[in-house]
Amino acid sequence: MSRGIRRDGTFLLGLLKSIKDGPTRELNVATGTAFTFGMNLGGYAIAALAGIVVARALGAHDRGVYSLAVTIPLLFAAFAELGISKAGIYLVGQNKATLQQIASNNFTWFFLISAIWAVFMSILGAVQPAFLPDELGSLHFVVFAIGSALLLMLAFIADLLIASGSIVGYNLVEFSSVALRSILVVGAIAAFAIEIEGVLIVWLVALALASVLALILLATRVSFRLLFNFKIFKLQLSFGLRTYLGYLLQASNHRLDVPLVAAFAGTAALGHYTVAFGMAELLWQLPFALGAVFFPKAASLDLQSNAQAAAVTCRRALFITILGVLGLLIAGRFIIELLYGEQFLPGLSAFYILAPSAIFYTVHKVLSSALAGRGMPEASLYAGVLSFPLTIVLGFLLIPWLGIEGAAIASVCAYAAHALVVLSIFLRVTRQSLWETLLINRADISSSLRGARRLLTTTEPVGAE
């Protein structure tokens, strides 16, 4: 039995042992990423199924309205984070601050910025400026205010958990947020045949429940005290603003196509496009998982170990991603037609264009995490300075001409430019070669197979790689 795959639950036990809470320097990147990827994939599958139900129940027009309504809170959470949460991971890894100090500063900032945003949304909802879409009503502004605050809280708590070395806690927060939203929305649609307004209310309730779970998980590690430490906050801002500006541009690249498609092509086209990029982003779950696990690890390594670990991680992840892209391209039409129906096939060509974006995102996510772990979070900023204007210019030029295909081309070009800049900075700073960073070798394959075999055949923790 010791040489075969165990079927009595010990595989899961061994995996959990290898990712138990501990110092970030001892994080097992291989098994931590595998666990995070599995949880992300499970969450993505649940969200995708929910998206199918929502799309079929609401139709292309209301599905577009729903996408717009939930995208604004996502953008707020990205912007309002200000980089201080990611900076906290770095400072804890470098032993420059305690987890409690970071938590106190983060929650103080959370309450301040959420209150300001709520007031702004109240004013905007009352004034109803002419530039806003006609479909937006008072409920949408409530969603913008409350949903934004809850998403920001969840982001802060997830980062605090990973900074503490808790991969399991981090994944529980991330998974519960997605799963609760999906399950409750689908359940409400099935049981009560709710329309767009009901869907948005249930979406808020699900976020609130996920926030309660996240607070319970965090309560075992820190106290909820709003004791603002200005000295630590200055360190958070020094590191965080460089991260923030790059992340802000990256998030804009990632979601700016939604309002542009809505403005130039209409909400029905946005519904088609939502399905297209949702399918394409299936493979983004691997770099998401890698970034979450690798950044705290990289922040605790010396410079040489950081560079070597980043090169190995990047080329292995890139190889897996390329295989995944090829498989998804082959199965794309069948999956969209089977799951969403023929009414969403107009988004197929945009999906084909967007699918390779996972390759560029893998390079960006792994190498920018390594550079941030070296104290250079501004690498993403430099990349964003090039890619963000590219998104806008190409979006304005191509969407009116080519529709959602134009939006897809603009997005992929921006992702490619972003990855190229980060790669160039990494190679210059670390002196790693292009080939050892991007091209998998026989030793990588042998090492990966040995690690997988150990994980499948033993309950002992697998050594970090």
Report the pLDDT value the prediction gives residue 207, as an integer from 0 to 100: 95
**pLDDT of 373 over the 60 cut:** yes
pLDDT tens-digit map of 268-301: 777 778 788 778 877 787 788 878 888 888 888 8
d(CA 366, CA 460): 27
Cβ within 8 Å of residue 435, ≥6 positions away: none
Closest CA to 154 of 176, 179, 185: 176
**441 in any annotated domain:** yes
Cβ within 8 Å of residue 85, ≥6 positions away: 106, 155, 156, 159, 160, 240
Least confident of 159-173, 194-208, 332-346, 420-434: 332-346
Q: What is the DSSP string of 199-232?
A: HHHHHHHHHHHHHHHHHHHHHTT--------HHH
Reported confidence tier of residue 457, pLDDT bands at 50, 70, 90: low
Residues 121-158 as b or e (16 or more Cβ within 10 Å = b): beeebeeeeeeeeeebeebbbbbbbbbbbbbbbbbbbb
Amino acid at 464: A
Considering only CA atoms, give the Rg of the chain: 22
pLDDT tens-digit map of 206-256: 999 999 999 999 998 898 887 889 999 999 998 888 877 777 777 677 767
Report the pLDDT value the prediction gives residue 259, as an integer from 0 to 100: 76
Report the pLDDT value the prediction gives residue 99, as an integer from 0 to 100: 94
**14 in any annotated domain:** no
Sign, CA dihedral 372-377-383-389, equals positive
**pLDDT of 460 over the 80 cut:** no
Report the pLDDT value the prediction gives residue 98, as an integer from 0 to 100: 93
Report the pLDDT value the prediction gives residue 51, as an integer from 0 to 100: 81
**pLDDT of 342 over the 60 cut:** yes
Report the pLDDT value the prediction gives residue 454, as an integer from 0 to 100: 59
Of 341 and 153, the structure prediction assigns the larger pLDDT to 153
d(CA 426, CA 364): 10
**405 in any annotated domain:** yes
d(CA 349, CA 50): 23
Q: In three state form, how does the secondary structure of 55-121 look?
A: HHHHHHHHHHHHHHHHHHHHHHHHHHCCCHHHHHHHHHHCCCCCHHHHHHHHHHHHHHHHHHHHHHH
**122 in any annotated domain:** yes
How many helices (H) and strands (E) are present in the chain, helices listed first?
19, 0
- The chain-wide mean pLDDT, for the chain, equals 83
Report the pLDDT value the prediction gives residue 378, as an integer from 0 to 100: 85
* Number of independent structural domains in the chain: 1
**19 in any annotated domain:** no
Report the pLDDT value the prediction gives residue 421, as an integer from 0 to 100: 94
Percent of the chain with pLDDT over 90: 28
Residue 462, φ and ψ in degrees, nearest 5: -85, 135
CA angle, 368 then 231 then 372, to 5°:
5
**pLDDT of 426 over the 80 cut:** yes
H runs (alpha helix) in 128-166: 138-142, 148-163
**pLDDT of 125 over the 90 cut:** no
**pLDDT of 16 over the 80 cut:** no
Report the pLDDT value the prediction gives residue 452, as an integer from 0 to 100: 56
**159 in any annotated domain:** yes
**313 in any annotated domain:** yes
For residues 364 and 415, the answer to whether their CB atoms sit within 8 Å is yes
For residues 246 and 82, the answer to whether their CB atoms sit within 8 Å is no
**321 in any annotated domain:** yes
**pLDDT of 4 over the 50 cut:** no
Least confident of 44-48, 363-367, 404-408, 417-421: 44-48
Mean pLDDT of 171-179: 91
**pLDDT of 13 over the 60 cut:** no
Q: 204 lies in which domain range?
A: 24-457
Of 138 and 247, the structure prediction assigns the larger pLDDT to 138
